[in-house]
Amino acid sequence: MLEKFDGSKSKRVYDIITGDESWFCYYDPKTKRQSQVWVTSNDPHPTKVRRQRSVGKHMFAIFFMKSGFNTIIPLENGKTVTAKWYANEYLTQVLKQVEKHRRLNGLLIHHDNAPAHRAALTMEYLVTQHVKLMGHPAYSPDLSPCDFWLFPKIKEQLRGKNF
């Protein structure tokens, strides 16, 4: 892939759009590392009340490109990603946003191998829109920017906050 895009020097990297879905808890307590404080040897150690992660959570689907975020869509409460929703609602909104700035011809979409992403309905929709699919090796979250970069960064910023 690096050869194909000339080590990210090629303008073709602007043709790639990537996305995924993730659960976000309404409250996620800070990690031990996030709540560390410096104290002198004379100061008492602060007490930390152990908090539980909230039961409530919401799933968000996010797509972005090198030029920035494209689409962030919350799923309805209790809903999960299905091929029908992914192809007919989500990808439709994503591609409408892309079309505001460029043509779809030559667009490369990258997502993981989730069942909704690989379903026949999804593949048919991408073909009708003239969008090509980038391959994603099985069990390789290290190749998905959402898994190794975006979602951990967002969740780190949300820790200790209610939403």
Share of the chain above pLDDT 70, in %: 81
pLDDT digits (tens, 9 = 90+) for 3-26: 666 665 667 778 889 999 998 887
Is residue 38 over pLDDT 80?
Answer: no
Q: Classify domain 6-33+50-158 at the CATH class level.
A: alpha beta
- Rounded distance between C-alpha atoms, residue 163 and residue 159, angstroms: 10
Question: What residue type is assigned to position 76 of the chain?
Answer: E
Least confidently predicted of 16-25, 26-35, 60-69, 140-149: 26-35
pLDDT digits (tens, 9 = 90+) for 47-62: 666 666 666 888 999 9
25 beta partners: 57
pTM for the predicted model, two decimal places: 0.73
Is residue 36 over pLDDT 60?
Answer: yes
HEC profile for the chain?
A: CCCCCHHHCCHHHHHEEEEEEEEEECECCCCCCCCCCCCCCCCCCCCCCCCCCCCCEEEEEEEEECCEEEEEEECCCCCCCCHHHHHHHHHHHHHHHHHCCCCCCCCEEECCCCHHHHCHHHHHHHHHCCCEECCCCCCCHHHCHHHHHHHHHHHHHHCCCEC
